[in-house]
Amino acid sequence: MIDNRDQIKEYYGKILQGSEDLRTNACSCGSPPPKYVRDVLPLIAPEIAERFYGCGSPLPPALEGCTVLDLGCGTGRDTYVASKLVGSQGRVIGVDMTAEQIGIAQKYQSTQAKVFGYAASNVIFRQGYIEDLESLGIESGTMDVVISNCVINLSPFKERVFREIYRVLKDGGELYFSDIFADRRVPARLNEDLVLRGECLGGALYTEDFRRLMQKCGWANFYYTAIDPVHITDAETILKVGDIIFTSRTVRALKTASLEDREEDYGQTAVYLGTMAENKRYFDLSTFYRFRKDRPAFISGNAGTMLQETRYGRHFRITGDPSLHYGLFASAGDEVVPVSHESKEEVPRITLAMLEEECAKQGIKPFHERVGYPNLLRARPRLDTLQVNVGYGCNLACSHCFLECGPDRTETMSRETMAECLQVFREGGFRTMDITGGSPEMNPALAWFIREASALGQIIVRTNLVILDDARYAHLIGVYKEGKVKLVASLPSYTEEGVDAQRGNKVFAVVVKVLQELNSVGYGRDPQLALDLVYNVAGPFLPPDQSSLEEVYKKALKQNYGVDFNHLLALGNCPLGRFGKALKKTGKFGYFLKLQSDHFNPATVPHIMCRDQLNVDWDGGLYDCDYNHVLGLPIIGPAKIGELIGRSPMVRDIVTHPVCYSCTAASGSSCGGSLT
């Protein structure tokens, strides 16, 4: 592990001048602090608060009279809050390696003591490394509580940190800290990226490695008290981290030798007496355990130990005989001893029933109820776009394709159905023909279809670019240019690594070659030959800001490859097809549905694409959008495109379902990119 502590000191001491300088929300994404902390925050000097970079609220209750150690205290926000909570008889030590931060913290010692009504400050600050507390004079078994706020991830020597914490804690003492965690091991290249490291992502611990490390350092078990998703909006950062899921977590680990590595059942119950001044009605031991005053609750042996052998013991009445064992305790420790969600069995196709069942589990409202205005879920009288899926055949089998297109798919729109599409396009007053599929180029009638359609209106073809390097299809570049076809090309990253991970080995090199060829005939440079690129998220998260991402793509592709394009479209993904199966297989299906519904944006609804288009599947079936024909939900009206010949497209109600949240989360997502 590279010792990058000097770089971290510079990042936090000189580069960052305030929390607004952070490039991600990782350092500010935790749960809101409890009321007893919020009540103290207005008493903290503004300069201290402005340079706070924490990711949670690691200040437990029942601190009065305690000795507290704050690791990576920075300018001292949490240190001073703890100073107030421990009272004049308590003591707080703040440790940080950054001279600039410690200098600000020390400047306010007498001021904060006066604000709190103390005769003298009960706070000491020491500059040094959290991996070597002994050199700072912190003796073994002297601390009641150790806190830390989004700092341990910055250390290149995490095992040393946890061993030192265990050493300085008293028996029954508590480690209570917030930090950033990852759902997999963070690659070395990201770990060594100074910005990602400084933003608390590069050094994030894989949750399972953290569990093993805690056991190695003395904690047989621990609990999480909060788990919050980290939402990254910085475009460059999103492309770097790929589909790693980061979470902000608050950890409660109590030092007692009686803990077991699993949650065992001894028939015990606990009653909270309501005697903590901060929490008279209830106390949360973990994300699983909420103890309400005077209400008995069944507990595991570990929970009983954590309550009885620590300062929390005087606030509880524990009953039961720990010599009687009843097996594993159901449900209590899911977050402590995680089970793998990986399955070696083939994941079934994602269906509407599966989506609705998961939404019910997650407490997600039906989409039409969430919108609340039926007129917003009705197609316009005059539609702009006829979207035509000309087949599912594709030269690639991309890992996130919701249509599950690929070389083995044979569904292909016939020339007769294409002719019906052309007639309906002409009679219905449509302005844009949006040709999509797997690879539209694999339909043998595509050149004819484009020549006929280009005489009627604007044509869009959605291409993966790679197929245009195939000699069998390369001539279509000339067809596109002749018909002034707007090309919308998938490019999930501007790096070789990012593209090849989603679409296959050596795909990126071919894509760049084709883009350069398209530029040479005018695409992306001639105003009449539009070339738009499409970014698709690589994992279960929301797309970044479209305009910011476009700047990043344009700069990188121009500087590195001389490639020009017009616009970048940032598309979200949906829990269908291969992407939906991947979510199911990794246990993130419900998480992703909840993420999208939690970020529902009402402002996107008037602009959703289904209100202004009609979708035609390869067999002529009519749908509101691609998602609906994957789910087998036809439009309310005629079943086939041929049935619209000689009649005007009628105003229709949109058929909605849980995947509609994919189009309306955050800035929204459609075939044309962001909606707001």
For position 496, what pLDDT does the model report?
85
Whole-angstrom CA distances from 348 to 343, 351, 583, 586 are 12, 9, 12, 14
Statement to judge: residues 180 and 138 lie in one domain: yes
Under the banding of pLDDT at 50, 70 and 90, the label for residue 346 is low
Let me know how long the chain is.
Answer: 676
Start-to-end CA span in the chain (Å): 43
Strand-pair partners of 461: 435, 487
- Does residue 557 share a domain with residue 435? yes
Convert the pLDDT of each residue in 419-467 to its tens digit: 999 999 999 999 999 999 999 999 999 999 999 999 999 999 999 999 9
pLDDT at 18: 47
Number of domains in the chain: 3
Q: In the Cβ-directed half-sphere of 12, how many Cα atoms lie within 13 Å? A: 31
Residue whose C-alpha is closest to residue 257's, from 299, 219, 313? 219
Supply 500's token pair: 């090849």
Same domain, 124 and 34: yes
Which contiguous run of DSSP H or E holds residue 126? strand 123-127
Across the range 97-112, mean pLDDT stands at 94
Confidence (pLDDT) at 350: 95
* Section 470-478 average pLDDT: 96
464, 489 in Cβ contact below 8 A?
yes
Here the CATH number for the domain that contains residue 221 is 3.40.50.150
Q: Is residue 480 part of a domain?
A: yes
143: pLDDT strictly greater than 70: yes
Please name which of 149, 148, 126 lies closest in space to residue 138, comparing C-alpha atoms.
Answer: 126
Residues 304-337 as b/e (b if ≥16 CB within 10 A, e otherwise) read bbbbbbbbbeebbebebeeeeeeeebeebbebbe
Residue 486, beta-bridge partner list: 460
Displacement of CA 670 from its chain's centroid (Å)? 19
Q: Give the domain-ending residue among 339, 372, 404.
A: 339
Q: Are residue 182 and residue 294 in the same domain, yes or no? A: no
Computed over every residue of the chain, the mean pLDDT equals 90
Q: How much is the average pLDDT of 173-202?
A: 91
Query: 111: helix, coil or strand?
Result: helix
Catalogue the E-assigned strands of 572-617. Answer: 613-616
Largest CA distance in the chain: 90
Amino acid at 521: V
The whole-number pLDDT of residue 542 equals 86
For residue 386, CA distances in Å to 29, 38, 202, 436 come to 42, 54, 45, 11
Instruction: Tell me the per-residue pLDDT of 355-385, one tens digit each, with 9 for 90 and over.
Output: 999 999 999 999 999 999 999 999 999 999 9
More confident residue, 473 or 332: 473
* Contact present, 177 and 171 (Cβ < 8 Å): no
Is residue 626 over pLDDT 50?
yes
Question: How many Cβ atoms sit within 10 Å of the Cβ of residue 639?
Answer: 11
Residue type, 360: A
Instruction: Assess whether 334 and 361 both reside in one domain.
Output: no
Whether 442 and 579 share a structural domain: yes
pLDDT given for residue 194 in this prediction = 83
- Mean pLDDT, residues 537-565: 90
pLDDT tens, position by position, 572-607? 889 999 999 988 888 889 999 999 999 999 999 999
Same structural domain, 235 and 322: no
Residue showing tokens 């044979």: 410
Question: Do 324 and 385 fall into the same domain?
Answer: no
**Residue that finishes a domain, picked among 339, 369, 402:** 339
The range of the structural domain enclosing residue 311 comes to 262-339
**Are 629 and 350 contacting, i.e. CB atoms less than 8 angstroms apart?**
no
Give yes or no: residues 311 and 216 share one domain.
no
> What CATH number is attached to the domain comprising 326?
3.40.5.100
pLDDT recorded at residue 341: 30
pLDDT in tens, 123-137: 999 999 999 999 999
| Residue 627 and residue 511 in one domain | yes
pLDDT at 11: 47
Q: Are 537 and 493 in contact (CB under 8 A)?
A: no
Residue 344, pLDDT > 70, answer: no
Residues 218, 282 share a domain: no
Statement to judge: residues 326 and 199 lie in one domain:
no
